[in-house]
Structure 1
């Protein structure tokens, strides 16, 4: 089957009638079987498109969690349902509440730094990753470690040295509402690639 024929079939009345019946079974099977066959750079965009479609079709735009059992919850983020395991029951195969917290924090820092650099006419690729040091005994996060990666082409052409650029990035990161709300230690590392 060629792609044009498949696209044509998708617009048919038969597909519109059958899709609601077969998609709930077929889509997970297809993803399980073929997702790792998609080149990594295309896979990220593919997954982002799926998530965007799911969120855009949800009318309520709510964010909530339902308790399932022990350390497991069902999280709903604007229509995107996620089985989550947290606390001492968390596993790498499931998204945990801590993963979502870190993703939100990294996203917020990325936006704050990106806009600061853009305002200063500095074009760069920015990536932020994070980790936490937890204390189950104290029942809290003791420390958040954020790594802010910058890839700047022609860095030598900037009117700033690396130390001044680091200061600019750290000042920009202070615009993140999430990190400003935290009362634990936050370590921010600036890494030039």
Structure 2
């Protein structure tokens, strides 16, 4: 047997670590200094694609259909909204100044969302109840049809026996 070489790659740090009491937040690719607001580049730089692969990627994107481009735009819109939300959250956490109405507005939004979800939940329960009734009705109808099928199968087997008997009698008499 040949020896198998261990081609396992050792684990590496995915993001830099912040030390305790250093006033730094750990981000995806950088450390954010909370005191000065400046950024330090982390140990995880982003890789740039080679020129040849970039050309093939550009060619791939150029050949996309309109439908795919539309979905790309919607993804970009979602990404922009997410970034805006992250910026707003970061500003609220760091500024320390929150408007007096913020929590009232936030609570009202949550209340409206809860009411909407409760209404949807109620509709789903009603629909579920109707579907259960329909299921019971269909199961009962299915049972009736099975019983009728068994009776008809019995009648067919008796009819086959009678036809065979009549054929045997007519053959004997001729």
Q: Which has the larger radius of gyration?
A: 2
TM-score (normalizing by structure 1):
0.24
TM-score (normalizing by structure 2):
0.26
Larger helix fraction of residues = 2
Which of structures 1 and 2 has the larger relative contact order (alpha carbons within 8 angstroms, sep 6+)? 1
